[in-house]
Amino acid sequence: MAEQLHHWIGGKRVEGTSGRFGDVFNPATGEVIGKLPYASKADMDEAVKVAQEAAEIWGKTAVPKRAAVLFKFRELLVANTDKLAELVGREHGKTIADAKGEISRGIDVTEFACGIPHLIKGEFNSNIGGEIDLFSIREPIGVVGGITPFNFPVMIPLWMGAPAIACGNAYINKCSERDPAAPMFLAELWKEAGLPDGVWNVVHGDKEAVDSLLHHEDVPAISFVGSTGVGEYVYQTGCANNKRVQAFCGAKNHMVIMPDADMDQAVDALIGAGYGSAGERCMAISVAVPVGQGTADALIEKLTPRVEALKIGPFDDPGADINPLITAQAQQRVENLITRGVEEGADLLVDGRGARMQGYENGYFVGSTLFNNVTTDMDIYKTEIFGPVLSVMTPSTYEDAVTMVNDHEYGNGVAVFTRDGDTARHFANSVDIGMVGVNVPIPVPMAFHNFGGAKRSKFGDTQMHGPESIRFFTKMKTISARWPSGIKEGAQLAFPTND
């Protein structure tokens, strides 16, 4: 029987008023396991009202006390990692090991946010002129909306929510309707950690819920992760409503393999970065770029049997390498793109279409897929497939490889595998990509650095987590102060200077 799910508003579960519901599936079996309420505008208005009231108090709470709540929450995340991983696996489908990796990265950002007493410090100058002291402070901005994707139901809400809350804001998570259980459990952990009711809220829904956030005058900031089409809409709509918006979007990440690369290391990297989480990562490597035909031949020889050996399976199968995709529609879309690649003339070396597993015949599985001789005019190259599909392309020269990377509309991540430091340095300085790996296939920065892409992989000019998150989730106030101390200047009509 499907579980009846709820919103989380004001520190408790709320049924909502819309009368609209969506199904939550187990992607390994295709079974409906939950009924999720979709928020109406009235539901979102109530969440914003509650969050605004909570933000007024939380934003004035002493910074060390806010940090203490974050420290406690971090302890609860560690203690409940197994339960969180199971919730993620059951609704998303990713393996337990993969889910724990995601949770670990969320804990990293929470740990970073625990340092908020230091991170939020302002600046001070004494006696800039006429015995005037000048200082700046960072203040909360109020209610922050976070629109988060299905592929990281723990990590991304924490990447947004932990810094936002540390800075003194209230947070409304419009999480993916595909896997809502983990964000709801995070809400319970926040409450157990001592976070005041209304500071962390979870509201489910579709475009109506998103639009309610984007148009609400009491939500000054929106953070988004998802597809490029939706991200561009969120960015443009939010900005049109005078909001601060950051939107992190789609990708087509290349891995350039030089002739001098350690080929075994490169193949290991492609297996993990190309097929981990069934390719449903914005930082997945989906294009392998061996430079020169000799390099390509050596790569294909080692890579093909490794790809063929990957096993599909449900989240709780310790032998599974590739999990199901999130929905039946996603499965069909990926299989259609594989068919399109064949029609366009790419060489299909490993075909993952029609993958089935005994006892899980209705699961949304696509097996590992490998294309060779892909060209830049093919749909499978231009499109973010978001499935376990890797394309191999073979430019003749290093310069052609760099041009290929730079000419793609997306610019999230890229990697180069080489033993040559000069090549690596030149590559890092030449590509128009937000995150670059040198012999590192998924160059996601640690929490104390910033995450973000380039070109159509990101809208807005701020990054996620790291120091930029503190700037995004606060507003700057600058104060000039002088106390009466015998200075008698008289009225001055000229523009003030430091003379």
Closest CA to 133 of 122, 144, 143: 122
User: pLDDT tens digits, residue range 265-309?
Assistant: 999 999 999 999 999 999 999 999 999 999 999 999 999 999 999
Domain over 253-438 is classified CATH 3.40.309.10: yes
Separation of first and last alpha carbons in the chain: 77
Model confidence at 486, pLDDT cuts 50, 70, 90, reads low
Range 329-345 average pLDDT: 98
Model confidence at 479, pLDDT cuts 50, 70, 90, reads very high
For the chain, give every domain's residue range. Answer: 3-249+457-479, 253-438
Q: What is the pLDDT of residue 497?
A: 73
Q: What is the pLDDT of residue 498?
A: 66
pLDDT above 70 covers what percent of the chain?
99
CA distance 231 to 456: 9
Does residue 325 surpass a pLDDT of 80? Answer: yes
282 catalytic residue (yes or no): yes
Note the helical H segments in 193-262: 207-215, 228-240
3-state secondary structure of 251: coil
Model confidence at 492, pLDDT cuts 50, 70, 90, reads confident
Range 378-386 average pLDDT: 98
pLDDT above 90 covers what percent of the chain?
95
User: pLDDT tens digits, residue range 423-468?
Assistant: 999 999 999 999 999 999 999 999 999 999 999 999 999 999 999 9
Instruction: List the 3-4 sheet strands across, edge first.
Output: 3-4, 31-38, 20-26
Q: What is the pLDDT of residue 487?
A: 62
Q: CA of 364: how far to CAs of 193, 249, 274, 332, 373, in Å?
A: 37, 24, 18, 9, 28
Q: What is the pLDDT of residue 493?
A: 76
Neighbours of 454 (CB within 10 A): 17
Model confidence at 499, pLDDT cuts 50, 70, 90, reads low
Class of domain 3-249+457-479: alpha beta
CA distance 27 to 11: 30
Note the helical H segments in 241-292: 263-275
pTM (2 d.p.) = 0.96
CA distance 267 to 258: 13
Catalytic position from the list 114, 175, 249, 282 = 282
Strand partners of residue 241: none
